[in-house]
Amino acid sequence: MGIEPLFVLVLAVFAKESIPKANWVISTGTIIACIILILAVVSGKSAVQMDITLPVVFALIASVGCGIGAVLCTMYSKNLIEAGWTTSMILANRYYGIILLSFFATFDIFFKYFSGNISCIIAVTAVGVMLPMYLLQIGIQFCSPLIIMMSL
Question: Looking at the predicted structure, is the pLDDT value of residue 102 above 70?
Answer: yes
Rounded Cα distance between 61 and 42, Å, is: 15
Q: What pTM did the predictor assign? A: 0.75
pLDDT at 85: 92
Taking only the tens place, the pLDDT of each residue in 12-22 is 898 888 889 99
Determine the pLDDT at residue 1: 66
Chain segment 40-52, per-residue pLDDT in tens: 888 887 777 777 8
Angle between helices 131-142 and 54-82 (to 10 degrees): 60
Q: Give yes or no for residue 83 having a pLDDT over 90.
A: yes
DSSP state of 16: T
Query: Which H/E stretch holds residue 101?
Result: helix 87-105
How would you classify residue 49: left for phi > 0, otherwise alpha for psi between -120 and 50, otherwise beta? beta
